[in-house]
Amino acid sequence: LRAVVSFRTDDVVGPVRRRLFGSFVEHLGRCVYGGIHEPGHPSADEEGFRRDVLALTREMGVSVVRYPGGNFVSGYRWEDGVGPRGQRPVRRDLAWRSIESNEVGLDEFVRWARKAEVEVMYAVNLGTRGVAEALDVHEYANHGSGTTLSDLRVANGSAEPHGISLWCLGNEMDGPWQLGHKTAEEYGRLAAETARALRQAEPGVELVACGSSSSAMPTFGEWERVVLEAAYEEVDHISCHAYYEVLDGDVDSFLASAEDMDRFIGSVAATADAVGAKVKSPKRIGISFDEWNVWSIKDFEASRTSEWRSAPKLIEDTYDVADAVVVGNLLISLLRHADRVAVACQAQLVNVIAPIRCEPDSAAWRQTTFHPFALTSRLARGEVLRTVVDGPTQDTGRFGEVPVVDAVVTREGEEVVVFLVNRHRHESVEVGFEGGERGVVEAWVLGDEDSGAINTALQPERVKPRGLGVERDGTAVRVVLPPVSWGVVRMG
Ligand code: AHR
């Protein structure tokens, strides 16, 4: 098979925003306890944070981390997690049927984020709580001093305000599983009221309203319309969430998951723009794709128990090469929409549906999905160029006819980086593009004869990027992508 990738260096979609390389830490399973935080582990620092997890987070190039949930946040009392550890209450977390010790809370997470060199994106509870509690946590986090809650933060050891600028107004409020689930009208009003209040406190905060928890929700589309009609002027972004898995054994559709992400982003953008026209606003609403990943939800549903446990092993998916290729393709989709997607967070960071895994008795390791994320975050710089692929297509059960090869190109100064994916299960594809006078600086491919290959604590380097052979013929560049592979070519 053969494909040609074309782009023009002056045809720009938008900037490569660093916030596209976000992640997510929820009080869920072993993401916080036994993930970022494990006092007593040989790699733990003086605050109990695992240094090996911190190092991999930095290596992965994560820019922003959403916290503390997720479904967890809809029953969370932020004040349980601040102050002297010995006095913090132990609570039930109904979302994940877990016992929450509250040993880690807002102040600890902000300290962890500094060490990880990431921005904090903080979600407030609009499930069981409302405007007052959102204002309280904002006062605690961002107000300088001289008020009861800001002075409490100072007394708790953080003299400087945390300066959180990105706030989520609740989580997945469209989902019947969500504590305090609301109709679009109810949520739209609450989101607008909370947003107005937060802006009265600090005009410059950036606010994300909850969109749909998936494009398959029965309320998808209508939810966005109603919420934005209520809150258009008050919020900056609307969220999208999407998880992909192999359904009914249909691997070809799974490998083409980015088609769904493209359509999802397109529909939400169109809906937001239609509301903008209706409310006669010149403002453009951004998309915060603040939960995305590969997740075998069917396996999770089958494994649910009724026991109450502390930091249980939950949703610890092991990812193979095919999963990593899908993750790489989802990043291509996010970059392609650089004009619209303002923030994106892979869910989640460690242990829970995560690119980083760790155990109490081993060093943290990189799952297969770590690699396309780390390389994309490191190499995508400057601006995203409009990219056209001319090549073969294949039929899929869920998305109809889709291109076998997907690609996106970024450019910074003279440097051009081409990100590519071959979704075909059996055929290699020869991909050509115009490199001009540029030399090849580096080129990588993630693929394997066994697309089911994985990394484990004992074999942490079984799957990793290998050098990709690049042929030149004058200014023409040619690479061969093996079946089910993701690749990148950097030229400069
Ligand atoms: O990321 C896991 C869960 O998926 C989150 O808690 C929730 O928001 C989503 O349904």
Confidence at residue 344, expressed as pLDDT on a 0 to 100 scale = 98
CB 172 less than 6 A from any atom of ligand 1: yes
Confidence at residue 4, expressed as pLDDT on a 0 to 100 scale = 98
The answer, as to whether pTM is greater than 0.90, is yes
Q: In what order do the strands lie in the sheet with 429-434?
A: 466-467, 440-446, 485-491, 415-422, 405-412, 383-390, 2-15, 429-434, 476-481, 470-473
Distance (Å) from CA 71 to ligand 1 centroid: 6
pLDDT at 299 over 90: no
Residue 47 catalytic?
A: no
Confidence at residue 136, expressed as pLDDT on a 0 to 100 scale = 98
pLDDT at 127 over 90: yes
pLDDT at 114 over 90: yes
The three-state DSSP-derived secondary structure of the chain is CEEEEEEEEEEEEEECCHHHHEEECCCCCCCCECCCECCCCCCECCCCEEHHHHHHHHHHCCCEEEECCCHHHHHCCHHHHCCCHHHCCCEEECCCCEEECCCCCHHHHHHHHHHHCCEEEEEECCCCCCHHHHHHHHHHHHCCCCCHHHHHHHHCCCCCCCCCCEEEECCCCCCCCCCCCCCHHHHHHHHHHHHHHHHHHCCCCEEEECCCCCCCCCCCCHHHHHHHHHHCCCCCEEEEEEEECCCCCCHHHHHCHHHHHHHHHHHHHHHHHHHHHHCCCCCCCEEEEEEEEECCHHHHHHHCCCCCEECCCCCCCCCEHHHHHHHHHHHHHHHHCCCCEEEEEEECCECCCCCEECCCCCCCEECCCHHHHHHHHHHCCCEEEEEEEECCEEEECCCEEEECEEEEEEEECCEEEEEEEECCCCCCEEEEEECCCCCEEEEEEECCCCCCCECCCCCCCCCCCEECCEEEECCEEEEEECCCEEEEEEEC
- Cis bond leading into 394, ω under 30°? no
Task: Give the tens place of pLDDT for each residue, 455-491.
Answer: 999 999 999 999 999 999 999 999 999 999 999 999 9
pLDDT at 197 over 90: yes
300: confidence class by pLDDT, cuts 50, 70, 90? confident
Confidence at residue 252, expressed as pLDDT on a 0 to 100 scale = 98
Distance (Å) from CA 134 to ligand 1 centroid: 20
Confidence at residue 244, expressed as pLDDT on a 0 to 100 scale = 98
Confidence at residue 303, expressed as pLDDT on a 0 to 100 scale = 78
Ligand 1 pocket test: pick from 23, 24, 71, 169 the residue with the most ligand atoms within 8 Å of its Cβ: 71
Report CA-CA distances (Å) from 434 to 412, 413, 414.
16, 17, 14
Confidence at residue 309, expressed as pLDDT on a 0 to 100 scale = 94
304: confidence class by pLDDT, cuts 50, 70, 90? confident
Task: Give the tens place of pLDDT for each residue, 15-55.
Answer: 999 999 999 999 999 999 999 999 999 999 999 999 999 99
What is the distance between the terminal CA atoms of the chain, rounded to a whole angstrom? Answer: 27
Ligand 1 pocket test: pick from 23, 25, 26 the residue with the most ligand atoms within 8 Å of its Cβ: 26
Report CA-CA distances (Å) from 301 to 73, 79, 207, 295.
20, 31, 32, 11
CA distance 356 to 367: 6
Cβ pair 239, 169 in contact under 8 A: no
Instruction: Determine the atom of ligand 1 nearest the C-alpha atom of 171.
Output: 8
- Cis bond leading into 14, ω under 30°? no
Cβ pair 393, 345 in contact under 8 A: no
Question: What CATH topology corresponds to 2-9+385-491?
Answer: Immunoglobulin-like (2.60.40)
Q: Beta partners for 295?
A: none
CB 75 less than 6 A from any atom of ligand 1: no
Nearest CA to ligand 1 atom 3: 70
**Of the listed 38, 234, 291, 383, which one is catalytic?**
291
How is the chain split into domains, by residue range? 2-9+385-491, 17-381
Distance (Å) from CA 401 to ligand 1 centroid: 30
CA distance 322 to 465: 13
Distance (Å) from CA 70 to ligand 1 centroid: 5
* CATH class of segment(s) 17-381: alpha beta
Task: Give the tens place of pLDDT for each residue, 402-424.
Answer: 999 999 999 999 999 999 999 99
Confidence at residue 207, expressed as pLDDT on a 0 to 100 scale = 98
Task: Give the tens place of pLDDT for each residue, 224-271.
Answer: 999 999 999 999 999 999 999 999 999 999 999 999 999 999 999 999
pLDDT at 302 over 90: no
Over pLDDT 90: what percentage of the chain?
98
Task: Give the tens place of pLDDT for each residue, 320-363.
Answer: 999 999 999 999 999 999 999 999 999 999 999 999 999 999 99
213: confidence class by pLDDT, cuts 50, 70, 90? very high
Q: Beta partners for 288?
A: 239, 343
Residue 395 CA, distance from chain mean position: 28
148-151 contact pairs (CB < 8 A, 24+) = none
CA distance 43 to 93: 28
**Where do we find the tokens 């006078």?**
437
Question: What is the signed CA dihedral for 260, 211, 113, 56, rounded to 10 degrees?
Answer: -10
Residue 172 catalytic?
A: yes
Confidence at residue 301, expressed as pLDDT on a 0 to 100 scale = 80
Ligand 1 pocket test: pick from 241, 315, 348 the residue with the most ligand atoms within 8 Å of its Cβ: 241
Cβ pair 418, 407 in contact under 8 A: yes
